[in-house]
């Protein structure tokens, strides 16, 4: 899947493992490592349906206020929000990484 980032800090966190952005600067190192691993799972998927097969991601499409946003677990506390878009054949091949959120906050 083609990956793009909505926030430069998320891209910097993915490529270098750290960022100066206040929101993500204090993330624990194990969360950052798992974030990179999770993005790599999304990148390796040929379509969104492949993410269902990786049970540890707990992939889900959100409803209500977050309609159109998809979420996978980074760990039990943090979630990775992203959006996906289909190609001309209707197969989802593009993902936009939106944010890392702390669950229930």
What DSSP string runs through 63-102? Answer: -GGGTT-EEEESSSSEEEEEEEEE-TTS-EEEEEEEEEEE
Give the tens place of pLDDT for each residue, 73-91.
999 999 999 998 877 776 7
pLDDT band at 55 (very low <50, low <70, confident <90, very high): very high
Q: What is the pTM of this model?
A: 0.90
Number of compact structural domains in the chain: 1
Instruction: Say how far apart CA 9 and CA 40 lie, in whole Å.
Output: 17
User: What does the DSSP 8-state code read for residue 5?
Assistant: E
- The enclosing domain of 94 has a CATH number of 3.30.2310.20
Domain around 31:
2-102
The token pair at 11 is 């891209």
């Amino acid at each position: 899947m083609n990956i793009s980032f909505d926030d430069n800090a998320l891209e910097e966190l993915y490529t270098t493992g750290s960022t100066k952005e206040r929101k993500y600067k204090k993330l624990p190192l194990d969360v950052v490592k798992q974030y990179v691993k999770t993005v790599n799972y999304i990148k390796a998927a040929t379509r969104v349906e492949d993410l269902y097969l990786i049970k540890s991601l707990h992939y889900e499409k959100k409803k209500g206020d977050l309609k159109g946003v998809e979420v996978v677990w980074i760990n039990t506390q943090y979630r990775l929000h992203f959006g996906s878009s289909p190609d001309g054949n209707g197969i989802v091949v593009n993902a936009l990484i939106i944010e890392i959120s702390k669950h229930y906050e």
